[in-house]
Chain A
Amino acid sequence: MLVVATAALLGASLVTPVATQAAIPSITIWVDSPRLPGAQLYAQIMKGKVNVNVQLHAQGDLVAKVQLFNTVKKGWPDVVFGPPNDVAFLKNPLVNNALMLDKLQSPAIWKAFGHGNDWCNLNGHYYCVKNDLAQTVLWYNKTLMTQFGYKVPTTMAEFAAIGADVAKNHPGYSMGPLGDQAAYSSFLESSQCPLNVAKSDTVVVINAKSPKCTRVSALLQPMIDSGVLDVRSPFDAGYIKDVQAGKWLMNVGPSWWGQFVLRPASSYNVPAGQVATAPMPLWAGETKAYSGEYGGGIYTISPHSKFPKEALAFAMFMVGDVRNLVTVKNPDGSHGAPTYPAYGPGNKIWVQAVAKDTYYAQSIVPALDTQAQLIWPGTKPVRYDANGAWGASFATDLAQTKNLQHAIEAYATYTSNAATQVGYAVVSK
């Protein structure tokens, strides 16, 4: 039993390369279920060269258990796939579970990310590898747009104008949900509203009264009042039922929106040949049409890992290798990684496969590519649960008051408290 127990205590490896000649590096990987096929493929490929132990874990497991591992000083997995905000928590010296990765591979590889790995660049160093980008673009129903005679909006003013027209002439059609993180990633971030702008490890800007936030509320409030923008979460069963009846006109959503939300029969169920993408509408007085980001997982490597190079190699496989991006078989029969890769070369491979997807009315890639370079760099990883706070404060307030500005301020109050609690000073600029 003890042998089994000890063998199960993987994390740091038990065998150093020097010990015996037959010993090979050994890494433990924690991934969630969409990433599992790729990880298992990797384990197979590396058989004999690296001992890869793939374990299925929910995305929040590492954060939940890392304190336990730190207490007993063992058990850390080598590389973990997790939600993007976790890197700040893990990098915190008190937790110390995000390794600085700069020196582990050549600068050329880091450069090949383009802006794709900017999220992981903290204080000038890389602390994680971004798996996918979840940049928002404008998803729209091309068929309906033609039918109603609308032009694809290029500015937010045009977006609002369409909203007003829909309310008058085509009531019942939806231009997007605002619950969960949707409002933030779709509108607030693109407007550069400062709500989680961490200037350093100790200072964060949270200011709901900034003009960059209030202009969003001003523009969108009429659309909320008329029902064209919905206060519910994108995954609310009631909202799904409402839009399933062919009532989805357009919404600003992330790169995975088409595949995960618009397409499935149990979700919005938009028929084939109707969905298209366009770049983000521009806010008045701006020159760049920024995107927000709704997700986009990361790989972090533990400083306690005995084989960080091998751990990083796994992460790079997942983000750059054609075998994971295009060919690996998923449990539902589809092939390849489901999300928009952040790594340049990997991205090129992936988009070629996606461009051939006949579900969409036209290739969705151009808009995705444009916006991939325009993700607003203001939002930064923070040590408090900025994403959970949307559910904790914003969603309830919006549902009750139906007032966007009021809900944003509720969010700001909540996160200010949370930020102060973990040691940030909250400033308004």
Chain B
Amino acid sequence: MSIDFKKKLPVSVAKPKRKKRKVSIGHYAVNVWLIFWAVLSVIPMLWLVLAPSKTDREVSYKNPLSFASFHGYVRAWKNLQDFNSGVLARWVFNSLTYTVAIVIIASVTASLAGFVISASKIRFKKGFLISTLIMMLVPPVALVIPLFIEMNKVNLIDNPFSVILISSLYPFGAFLSYIYYSNTIPPEIYESARLDGCSDFKLYTRIAFPLSYPLLALLAFFAFVGNWGNYFMPYIMLQSPTNYTLPVGLGALFFSTPAINPGNGATSVPILKPEIALAGILVAVPVMIVFLISQKRLIRGMLAGSIKE
């Protein structure tokens, strides 16, 4: 008999109606605490969003959470655009293209790897998992110089592909993928499908792939969030400012202008706190959008229905 695996699909189960119960003080306290922490989480972002409306002087003088004028945004934006002949737009473009490329390559390779390890009869499963765990734990600082040498050997220094390829190694994703497939598709299903004469190809296309959307969404989410704000590896690999991603460019902006330390530069370059804050909003907004889109998937979790004992 073939097990109807579709019935085992992760489905959000509506919590059954509870009988009305007394709402306790503890209940209120918990809710208040949850809301309090939510407000606390949002305040820094609020400061960031409101800062460009003020001039640098007003940032110190006025209420930190006050809105000064819309013209502030225009002025800050103009200063950012003027900076180094509008290189900021280039940085945004670079960040978008590199990150999307990384997300695609990383998600696809990691999901395939997880599937293979959970579904196939290849022998070195444990070795794979252990190596994956190790790679997640190695300090990236240790690998910087060897990676730089490697990239140099193939002439990819200061080339976006150096960042894209290196960042596409996604052990966390492979691990996640393995857990997902293992929990969603018990081996009995593969066994019975194989007994029915399914080829490996069909195993993937008919069984695994249709169930992969939640996983791929999750992988894409984590890959995006992890790589969009990545600073160190792109800083090392990319030399020309026109190749920088937004975080690296922001770092260069931050260090080479008198945003914080006027001794470092001159007022001849009008990049101060409001401008840096506006650039910061640019970095934060795409991640916020991705979060908003994916948060439902995150809640469903990739483990839905799996915890039963």
Contact = CB atoms under 8 A, between A and B. Distances in A.
Instruction: State yes or no: do A and B touch (Cβ within 8 Å).
Output: yes
B149 interface: yes
A160 interface: no
B263 interface: yes
Interface string B220-254: 00000000000000001001110100000001100
A373 to B, nearest CB: 23
A331 B82 CA distance: 7
B66 interface: no
Contacts of A2: 155
Contacts of A75: 157-158, 239
Interface string B262-280: 1111111111100000000
Contact of B269 (A34, A58, A180, A265): A34
A267 interface: yes
A334 B159 CA distance: 36
B149 A72 contact: yes
A261 interface: yes
A235 interface: yes
Contact of A33 (B59, B84, B157): B84
A261 B240 CA distance: 31
B267 A264 contact: yes
Interface string A50-63: 00000111111100
Of residues A56, A72, A331, A338, which shows the largest number of chain B Cβ atoms within 10 Å of its Cβ? A56
A23 B271 CA distance: 38
Contact of B161 (A1, A6, A36, A58): A1
Given A56-B87, A260-B267, A295-B263, A266 B272 contact: yes
Contacts of A256: 263, 266
B149 to A, nearest CB: 6
Number of contact residues on A: which range applies?
A: 35 or more
A33 B263 CA distance: 13
Of residues B148, B152, B266, which shows the largest number of chain A Cβ atoms within 10 Å of its Cβ? B266
Contact of A32 (B157, B240, B256): B256
A55 B271 contact: no
Interface residues of B, number: 44
Interface string A241-280: 1000000000000001001110111110100000000000
B173 interface: no
Contacts of B271: 33
B207 interface: no
Q: From DSSP, what is the main secondary structure of chain B's interface residues?
A: helix
A5 B159 contact: yes
A331 B239 contact: no
A9 interface: yes
Given A260-B262, A269-B57, A58 B159 contact: no
A261 B264 CA distance: 11
A71 B267 contact: no
Contact of A266 (B60, B252, B269): B60
A371 to B, nearest CB: 18
Nearest to A254: B263
B261 interface: yes
A32 B272 CA distance: 15
Given A5-B155, A32-B256, A71-B145, A267 B262 contact: yes
B290 to A, nearest CB: 28
A189 to B, nearest CB: 16
Interface string B152-173: 1001111101000000000000
List 7 tightest A-B contacts by C-beta distance, closest first: A58-B255, A330-B268, A266-B56, A338-B266, A72-B152, A5-B159, A32-B256
28 contacts: A1-B159, A1-B161, A4-B159, A5-B155, A5-B156, A5-B157, A6-B155, A9-B155, A32-B265, A34-B269, A36-B269, A56-B84, A56-B252, A58-B252, A58-B256, A65-B239, A72-B157, A240-B60, A260-B258, A260-B266, A260-B267, A264-B267, A265-B55, A269-B57, A330-B266, A331-B83, A331-B269, A338-B266
Interface of B: 55-57, 59-60, 79, 82-84, 87, 145, 148-149, 152, 155-159, 161, 236, 239-241, 243, 251-252, 255-258, 260-272
